[in-house]
Amino acid sequence: MKLQQVLSLTRKAVDDYHMIEPGDKIAVGISGGKDSLTLLYALQGLRRFYPAFFDLCAVTVDLGFGNLDFSKIEALCRELDVRYDIIKTDIGKIIFEDRKESNPCSLCAKMRKGALNNAIKELGCNKAAYAHHKDDVVETMMMSLIYEGRFHTFRPVTYLDRTQITVIRPLIYMNEADVIGFVNKYNVPVVKSPCPADGHTKRETVKNMVQEINREAPGVKERMFTAIINGNIDGWNKPEKR
């Protein structure tokens, strides 16, 4: 996928759900993976021509596994003229060595988001951009349906009362395959996750399930996404056009 197509889908999501207001300072949470780096490219590209001026920075929460090299991401941020901060933590040690969590993902996500939100506030940002794409939207809905018994997924825009930060998700119209295509086309410097639980989670199980259903009934993922948009799920009703 070309950068212009990424920018088009990103702008549609931003416009449809009023994600960006003039004067916003937005922090992109950078894990080093394909999704967050695609989001960084998208928002930096959008910033050049979007009618509402906004500032942009990038933040990585280093979980402390000790074997990650962020030098290529630092170089990318310099190239894009985006401030980049790495927040050092011991979250990995706490989860896997001290607590020896058998189901680490939930606690890890909570601690990681807490560290990210604290850093974002210190940087003076009022918004955080998360890199969830269309597949994430559908998979989260399926997880909620299977494990919680309700039809629900995260919102395109979420205001966090405790931190007074607004979370936006500008990639919700992009398929994961589009992200992979973009990353391969532009040689984006992806850093592989060192997490011991990577690829062995409930989300990975549901991802494989959705892919299998989509193979059996082509187009089902798109129909699921359409059902979410039209299903009166909290936060998914599009605001009035401005």
Model confidence over 31-56: pLDDT tens digits? 889 999 999 999 999 999 999 999 99
Indicate the pLDDT class of residue 181, thresholds 50, 70 and 90.
very high
State yes or no: pLDDT of 241 exceeds 80.
no
Residue 61 pairs in a beta bridge with 87
Answer whether residue 239 is part of any domain.
no
Query: What is the percent of the chain with per-residue pLDDT over 90, rounded to a whole number?
Result: 73
Indicate the pLDDT class of residue 198, thresholds 50, 70 and 90.
low
The CATH number given to whatever domain includes residue 145 is 3.40.50.620
More confident residue, 104 or 22: 22
For residue 32, is it left (φ>0), alpha (ψ between -120 and 50) or beta?
left
What CA–CA distance (Å, rounded) separates 46 from 17?
16
If you ran DSSP here, which 8-state letter would residue 64 be given?
S
Answer whether residue 173 is part of any domain.
yes
Answer whether residue 236 is part of any domain.
no
Total domains in the chain come to: 1
| pLDDT tens per residue, range 107-154 | 888 888 889 999 999 999 999 999 999 999 999 999 999 999 999 999
The H or E element containing residue 168 is: strand 165-168
User: C-alpha 101: how far from its chain's center?
Assistant: 24
Answer whether residue 238 is part of any domain.
no
For 76, the domain range is: 3-230
Look-up: residue for tokens 């798109």? 222
Answer whether residue 242 is part of any domain.
no
Answer whether residue 43 is part of any domain.
yes
State yes or no: pLDDT of 200 exceeds 70.
no
| pLDDT tens per residue, range 201-237 | 788 899 999 999 999 999 999 999 999 999 889 899 9
Q: Under a CB-based contact definition with an 8 Å cutoff, are residues 193 and 138 in contact?
A: no
What CA–CA distance (Å, rounded) separates 26 from 111?
20
User: C-alpha 208: how far from its chain's center?
Assistant: 19
